[in-house]
A = this chain, B = another copy of it.
Amino acid sequence: MAITVEKLKINFKTLEEFKKFKEYGAQELSMLEDLEANMVEDDSHSPFYGIYFGDKLVARMSLYRRDARFDQYFDPPQDYLELWKLEVLPGYQQKEYGKRLIDYAKKYKMPIKTNPRMNSRAFFEKMGFESVTYEMDRDRGENPLVWYPEGVSEQKHS
């Protein structure tokens, strides 16, 4: 079966599938409220991408374009992607689903910033992500990792 990354349509079925992921949180609860309030179905303006195995969602990530004026990570400052909630369900790991999602994100050829749990740092480093110099006022409790496309480097602060 071919593995394809799809932009997820936010509907009650998708939100039900999201509950299986550990990082289910305020974002999903907010989408659920929006659905319930407006009875909008199949909202495709979501930042979620995922991989289905048959009709089961087994991997997902959220990918969001941030404007250059918020860029504190990259040189030259530019629009970049923020990636969060990258997660593969237990039983579907070690099958490169995570790598497929990352490859999908890299295709935009924009810098990527993420804040992974410490136990997934090794995975991100294997995917070419690098640490940045920690700065408390910017990074606070985060563990930022970034991916640089060609021609982009770390933004240096004094």
Q: How many angstroms between the C-alpha atoms of A28 and B131 in the bound complex?
A: 14
A143 partner, pick from B25, B139, B141, beta carbons under 8 A: B25
Give the number of times this chain occurs in the complex, counting copies: 2
Classify chain A: how many residues form its interface, as a range.
20 to 34
Q: Within 8 Å CB of A24, what residues of B?
A: 118
Q: A interface, by DSSP: helix, strand, loop or mixed?
A: mixed
Given A62-B141, A141-B62, check contact A27 B136 (CB 8 Å): yes
Q: Within 8 Å CB of A136, what residues of B?
A: 27, 47, 64
Docked-complex contact B84 and A141, CB < 8 angstroms: yes
Q: How many angstroms between the C-alpha atoms of A134 and B47 in the bound complex?
A: 14
Q: Which partner residue on chain B sits nearest A134 by CB separation?
A: B30
Asked whether any CB of chain B lies closer than 8 Å to the CB of A144, the reply is yes
CB 8 Å contact bits of A104-144 with B (1 = contact, 0 = none): 00000000000100100000000000010110110111111
Give me the interface of A with B, judged by CB distance under 8 Å: 23-27, 29-30, 47, 62, 64, 66, 82, 84-85, 115, 118, 131, 133-134, 136-137, 139-144
21 contacts between A and B (CB under 8 A): A23-B141, A24-B118, A25-B143, A26-B134, A26-B139, A26-B142, A26-B143, A26-B144, A27-B136, A27-B140, A27-B141, A27-B143, A30-B133, A30-B134, A62-B140, A64-B137, A64-B140, A66-B137, A82-B140, A84-B141, A115-B141
